[in-house]
């Protein structure tokens, strides 16, 4: 069953944190993140909105692991939301 991840976070630049990472660096990339089928990113009002579709829950949770959450806390504090849920493909058609 495919899996959906939706991330809403502020735009952060590399010089603003100890990891020297940007908000986009925290987003999965097709061809690099195993099991990622597609990703769609939009920046609106200084916030990044990411929608990504994964082959399954395990692939999604392998990317959004404890290390990812640790970096997210350093970059965004409590000013982000990550929603992970299964896609009910029977209801999509």
pLDDT digits (tens, 9 = 90+) for 35-92: 999 999 999 999 999 999 999 999 999 999 999 999 999 999 999 999 999 998 665 5
47 vs 34, 56, 58, CA distance in Å?
Answer: 25, 27, 27
46 vs 9, 10, 50, 90, CA distance in Å?
Answer: 9, 6, 13, 36
Residues 29, 40: contact at Cβ < 8 Å?
no
Phi and psi (nearest 5°) for 40? Answer: -135, 125
Reported pTM = 0.88
């Amino acid at each position: 069953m495919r899996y959906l991840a939706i991330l809403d976070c502020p735009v952060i630049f590399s010089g603003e944190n100890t990891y020297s990472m940007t908000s986009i660096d925290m987003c999965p990339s097709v061809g690099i993140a195993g099991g990622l089928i597609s990703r769609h990113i939009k920046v609106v009002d200084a916030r990044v909105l990411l929608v990504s579709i994964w082959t399954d829950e395990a692939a999604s949770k392998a990317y959004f692991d404890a290390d990812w959450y640790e970096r997210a806390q350093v970059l965004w504090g409590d000013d982000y939301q990550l929603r992970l849920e299964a896609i009910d493909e029977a209801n999509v058609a």
